[in-house]
A and B are shown apart, each in its own frame.
Chain A
């Protein structure tokens, strides 16, 4: 039950009945690292705007960076450190630093661009409810962290150094939130796996409101949400035998 890491090229949107449609075209699938060692149950992937992407090869306890240029995938040196035993989510910032959520420690690690462990991203100066259980996380363009804290039912917004900036509590109508994303305008997006809904909170807003409904018609138990650089919200279900990517519109 491995997921395939597929690179999809976003084609120009076409209009249909007034609604914008995004088409994705398969470019290449990534199965292994540069030495031919295959991926094992990878659970995370991230890309930057410099043709780089990185895979959390969870089953092998490592991160695999690559570059995708002119249609060719070029693997780079794997990142395998003793502090990271089971990466389940990975993000890159604009400085080339890598951040990974360890599924066993349930802490976010900071890794330098050269692949060395730099420490943990632990929230400091937290207000009441210091208990944090990160289920997922993401970064905005300024390097601020958005940590999906399922124990305290909130999204923690932290500075690049981990200092608490603000929090946004989950909507009382939500059931189980699995992933967090931030769009180009700074709005926070959450995917509720049980309800099959996306919730959003605008930048500096204090509450989450429903952004989309009725996803149950298309997906079973969606677990991933992201927003592209054009402001499109993409909701992705990673299913046992395939995946569905839904485009939910612009913010």
Chain B
């Protein structure tokens, strides 16, 4: 496990710190699975309390975040993806729970270039912030028209 972890592009830095494994685990006993210190959300929130607080303020709740199921999307030890995401494709990752293809045909995927930045493609995070925003459906703007016209500029009023 250690060799595989340390060979990834992104290692969760606390693992390499002075406290190492004890940053998140308690070695003797715990009521939580994996000998985590407290619940998984407590362990993650010890450092990432901003993300937890963001979800609390969000009018629309994202269930895995709201219930502290951080490992629904993240790999806590190491990953080759940014933000220690569990899969290379954000669309596939969100698609584990959200079968958006059945109700949406908005272009998404590796071949759809984001008009705002030619180095990235359009995926779920282009419009939604998974830990929550102060707006409904955790989009980045107060209204859907403000959101949509970030790319569809000709429709801006």
- Chain A interface (Cβ within 8 Å of chain B)? 1-2, 4, 31-32, 38-41, 58, 86, 103-104, 106, 133, 135, 150-153, 175-176, 178, 193-194, 216, 220-221, 240-241
Contact = CB atoms under 8 A, between A and B. Distances in A.
A104 B9 contact: yes
Given A1-B83, A4-B117, A220-B50, A135 B140 contact: no
A220 B51 CA distance: 8
- Majority secondary structure, A binding face: loop
Contacts of A220: 50-51, 54
A70 to B, nearest CB: 24
Interface of B: 7-10, 13-14, 16-18, 47-48, 50-51, 54, 82-83, 117-120, 125, 129, 140
B18 A135 contact: no
Contacts of B9: 58, 86, 103-104
B16 A221 contact: no
Given A103-B9, A150-B13, A2 B120 contact: yes
A151 B17 contact: yes
A82 B129 CA distance: 37
Contacts of A135: 13, 16
A1 B119 contact: no
B10 A103 contact: yes
Contacts of A151: 16-18
B140 A241 contact: yes
B17 A40 contact: no
B17 A41 contact: no
B82 A41 contact: yes
Contacts of A193: 47
12 contacts: A1-B82, A32-B119, A41-B82, A103-B9, A104-B7, A135-B16, A150-B13, A153-B18, A176-B14, A178-B13, A194-B47, A216-B50
B110 to A, nearest CB: 13
Nearest to A32: B119
A150 B120 contact: no
A175 to B, nearest CB: 7
Nearest to B123: A1
Given A2-B119, A220-B50, A176 B13 contact: yes
Given A151-B17, A240-B83, A241-B129, 20 more contacts: A1-B82, A1-B83, A1-B125, A2-B117, A2-B120, A31-B117, A31-B118, A39-B119, A58-B9, A104-B7, A135-B13, A150-B13, A152-B18, A175-B47, A176-B17, A194-B47, A216-B50, A220-B51, A221-B48, A240-B125
